[in-house]
Amino acid sequence: MDFVLVPHTVDSEGCTLWVGAFQCEQRPADMELRITPSGASIPVLAERWEFLYPPDLLPVTPPMYFRQTVECYGLEPGRSYVMHLLHAEQILAQATVRPLPSALPGRHEAPFTVLLASCFCQENDRVGEVARSFSHLPLEDRPVVKILCGDQVYLDIPIHQNFPDDSIRLAEIFLRKYVQTWREADAAGVSGLGALLREGATYFTADDHEFWNNFPNAATLIQNSWTETGRMQWRGPARHLYRFFQFIHADLAGEPQAFSVPPASFLILDTRFNREEGDRAFLSAPHMARLTQWVEELNQRRWVGFLCLGQLIFEEAAGWLKGRVVDRHLPDYAQYGELVRVLAACRQPLVLLTGDVHYGRVARCRQPSGGDLYEVISSPMSLVDRRVGGSASPPPPTYPATAIPSLPRVDISVVPDANGQPALIAVEHFLTINLWSVGPSVRMQMKYWPVRTHGQRPTPIQTIVVDLVPNP
Question: What is the structure's pLDDT at 57?
Answer: 76
6 and 148 part of one domain: no
**Cα atoms in the Cβ-side hemisphere of radius 13 Å centred on 39:** 0
What's the pLDDT tens digit per position in 232-277?
A: 999 999 999 999 999 999 999 999 999 999 999 999 999 999 999 9
Which residue, 101, 135, 169, sits at the end of a domain?
101
Residue type, 160: H
Residue 308 banded pLDDT, cuts 50, 70, 90: very high
Same domain, 263 and 317: yes
DSSP conformational letter for 313: S
Q: What is the DSSP letter of 211?
A: T
Structural domain total, the chain: 2
Q: Are 356 and 312 in contact (CB under 8 A)?
A: yes
The percent of residues in the chain predicted with pLDDT above 70, rounded, is 100
* CATH number of 369's domain: 3.60.21.70
Last residue of some domain: 72, 101, 130?
A: 101
In the predicted structure, residue 445 carries a pLDDT above the cut 90: yes
Closest by CA position to 376, among listed 326, 435, 323, 328? 435
Indicate if 139 and 92 belong to the same structural domain. no
pLDDT single digits (tens) 81-140: 999 999 999 999 999 999 999 999 999 999 999 999 999 999 999 999 999 999 999 999
According to the model, what pLDDT value does residue 55 have?
A: 73
- Tell me how far apart the 2 most distant CA atoms of the chain are, in Å: 67
Domain co-membership, 87 together with 124:
no
Q: Do residues 203 and 328 both lie within one domain?
A: yes
List residues bridging with 91 in a β-sheet: 86
* Secondary structure class of 239 (helix, strand, coil): helix
The predicted pLDDT at position 160 comes to 76
pLDDT, residue 296, reads: 98
Are the C-beta atoms of residues 150 and 206 closer than 8 Å to each other?
yes
Instruction: Output the pLDDT for position 453.
Output: 93
Residue among 285, 280, 312 nearest 207 (CA): 312
Summarize pLDDT for 388-407 with one digit per residue, the tens: 999 999 999 999 999 999 99
pLDDT of residue 34 exceeding 80: yes
Task: Report pLDDT for 159.
Answer: 79
pTM, entire model: 0.97
CB-based contacts of 446: which residues, under 8 Å, 6+ apart? 362, 376, 423, 431, 432, 433, 434, 463, 464, 465, 466
Same domain, residue pair 86 and 192: no
Same domain, yes or no, for 65 and 211?
Answer: no
Position 306 scores a pLDDT of: 98
Domain that holds residue 68: 1-101
pLDDT tens digit string along 186-243? 988 999 999 999 999 999 999 999 999 999 999 988 999 999 999 999 999 999 999 9
Query: Is the pLDDT confidence value at 321 over 90?
Result: no
| Mean pLDDT over the full length of the chain | 95
